[in-house]
Chains A and B, each alone.
Chain A
């Protein structure tokens, strides 16, 4: 464990390249490099380590979406960006929990990142709605939908897995499941 934390922080260019290439090892290096900074921020401002984890992971998701959408400009350090996102997210969380005392104890300089968080919030809402719809969908529909649309399994595989005698039955089942999922999705609030 300790050798992981001793991995040196990647340069910002390395990091961005790694993100664009879906490099897991780079994700790990980035994650390990900046988590302590965020932990310090959260703990020093009325939070605990679990809240630090949530906030940090959300910030990493924001960073990935931003980099992958091609909008990330290296006008600032990656570190500053991550810190700013976490700071903004934590302020919002604190005010939601009515724990915000009106002052935050800072350790880094930070940037205005409100725009990035608006698009993140929109994605977050869609994600939550999909999560809710899928959890209400029930089996075998959920597995069929996840296998086909997320895991990109073929209808052939799905037929075998669920023991459908012919492909038409599977198709009909998948169709019905998708219709139900759409209905549930748009019902989500």
Chain B
């Protein structure tokens, strides 16, 4: 019996298609022949699996057909929890909302930061403290610089760095020990003062007296290197007459300038009795220049002029106010009063000789305002 025939016999047996006789004979064969028996069992099990497979496929088809009738979406709507509008908006847009909120917070913080709102009071006082510290540091640096400047000056035997000083006016010595007179408006507001004569001698000076009523100022040479100016060649005279020839030496520019004219009035502008009116060429830098008579006596100190025109009249503070100023200064500082020299050696000299003798004592006053 071939395998094919055996299979069809087994199938007929399993399907119950055999007659009772045939069935009995096959069962005998199956009983006697284990190979046939195992073939029967094996075939039975395998076809059972095939049937189960078929049943399941059919059943799944049935289930799918039923499932297709269910409105799953409607059911889903029921179960998907229906959150409130706000929650739904949050769920749908939370990334956008978060981003917007971050930007808003960032914007607020950066605005507060840049407007300085976030700085606390403590910080502010710290800033103030820092700035005052900074000012202190600056001050001490400046002091150091000044000291260094002085040292340089000592080492350099009287050389002063002139570059930071601006020529402002003229001054002249009133005593051998270093007192200089100038106009107060020349030195006012100056932080630091130097004077320099035509010989190139330069000194640091400080203002020791100033009278706003007369516009007179007295300076003193404070350089440690300074010893003495020597005897002054000119004298001082309280009186002067209208019509007298006068001359002046000053520093309207960087260089010393000599000029002469005449005393045109005993009174200044608008009945001013403090000053003379002088017909003489004068410029801004002439403020503080000595006004001398032909004999070389100082009768006044030039301090202003009428307008800016070149030939406009100048005004000179009368010398008697210098005497008064020195008296006041001595009282104020309780020092010995400076006595002004009344003799002079210039009387018989020609103007060029007079200038040559005087130039050492006439200074260009330079100021530094930082």
For the complex, give the distance between the alpha carbons of A171 and B60 in Å. Answer: 31
The contact of A134 among B53, B60, B66, B76, by CB within 8 Å, is B53
In the complex, residue of chain A having the shortest beta-carbon distance to the beta carbon of B42 = A182
Chain A, residues 122-137, CB within 8 Å of chain B (1/0): the string is 0100110011001000
Known interface pairs A146-B54, A175-B3. Does A36 touch B78 (Cβ–Cβ under 8 Å)? yes
B50 at the A/B interface (Cβ < 8 Å)? Answer: yes
Tell me the residues in window 47-75 of chain A with beta carbons closer than 8 Å to chain B beta carbons.
49, 53, 57, 60-61, 64
Name the interface residues of B43-63: CB closer than 8 Å to any CB of A. 46-47, 49-54, 56, 59-60, 62-63
The reply to whether B60 and A150 form a contact with Cβ atoms under 8 Å apart is no
B79 cross-chain contacts in A, Cβ below 8 A: 36, 39-40, 43-44
Name the one of B8, B54, B67, B76 contacting A57, with C-beta atoms under 8 angstroms: B67
Q: Which of chain B's residues have a CB closer than 8 A to the CB of A175?
A: 3-4, 7
Nearest-Cβ distance from residue B6 to partner chain A, whole angstroms: 10
**Among B50, B64, B76, B78, which residue has its beta carbon within 8 angstroms of that of A145?**
B50
Contact indicator A31/B72 (Cβ below 8 Å): no
Question: Which B residue's beta carbon lies closest to that of A44?
Answer: B79
Give the size of the chain A interface in residues (CB under 8 angstroms).
38
Inter-subunit contact A127/B52 (CB<8 Å): yes
Q: Confirm or deny: A76 has a beta carbon within 8 angstroms of a beta carbon on chain B.
A: no
Check: B189 CB closer than 8 A to any chain A CB: no
* Partner among B49, B60, B69 whose Cβ is within 8 Å of the Cβ of A126: B49
What's the Cα separation between A31 and B136 when bound, in Å?
93
Q: Does A24 contact B (CB under 8 A)?
A: yes
Judge whether B59 and A151 touch: CB under 8 Å: no
- Most chain A CB within 10 A, of B63, B69, B73, is at B63
Q: Give the Cβ gap from B54 to chain A, nearest Cβ, in Å.
A: 3
Chain B: CB-nearest residue to A124: B56
Within 8 A of A (CB), among B68-92: 69-73, 75-76, 78-80
B75 proximity list for chain A (CB < 8 A):
5, 35-36, 39
Indicate with 1 or 0, residue by residue over A24-37, a CB within 8 angstroms of chain B CB atoms.
10011001100110
A5 neighbours in B (Cβ, 8 Å)? 70-71, 75
Asked if A185 is at the interface (CB within 8 A of a chain B CB), the reply is: yes
Set B7, B54, B70, B73: member contacting A150, Cβ < 8 A: B54
Tell me the complex Cα distance, A32–B47, Å.
33
User: Which chain A residues lie closer than 8 Å to B51 at the CB level?
Assistant: 149-150
A123→B67 CA distance, assembly (Å) = 23
**Which of B53, B62, B64 lies in contact with A127, CB distance below 8 A?**
B53
**Which of B53, B62, B72, B78 is within 8 Å of A24, CB to CB?**
B62
Contacts of B78 in A (CB 8 A): 36
Which one of B51, B52, B56 has the highest number of Cβ atoms from chain A below 10 Å of its Cβ?
A: B56
**Cβ-defined partner of B53 (8 Å) among A57, A64, A150:** A150
Contact partners of B62 in chain A: CB under 8 A: 24, 27
B7: A residues at CB distance < 8 A? 175, 178
Report whether B72 and A171 are in contact in the complex, using a CB–CB cutoff of 8 Å. no
Q: Show 26 A/B contacts (Cβ-Cβ < 8 Å), sorted by A.
A: A1-B69, A4-B70, A27-B63, A27-B66, A28-B66, A35-B75, A36-B78, A39-B72, A39-B76, A39-B79, A43-B80, A49-B72, A53-B67, A61-B56, A61-B60, A126-B52, A130-B49, A146-B54, A149-B54, A150-B53, A150-B54, A171-B4, A175-B3, A175-B4, A178-B7, A185-B46
Seed contacts A1-B71, A31-B67, A149-B47; 13 additional CB < 8 Å A-B pairs: A5-B71, A31-B63, A31-B66, A32-B66, A32-B70, A39-B76, A39-B79, A49-B72, A61-B56, A123-B52, A145-B50, A150-B54, A151-B54
Q: Give residues in B with beta carbon < 8 Å to A.
A: 3-4, 7-8, 46-47, 49-54, 56, 59-60, 62-64, 66-67, 69-73, 75-76, 78-80
6 closest A-B pairs by beta carbon, nearest first, are A150-B54, A130-B53, A40-B79, A149-B50, A175-B4, A31-B66
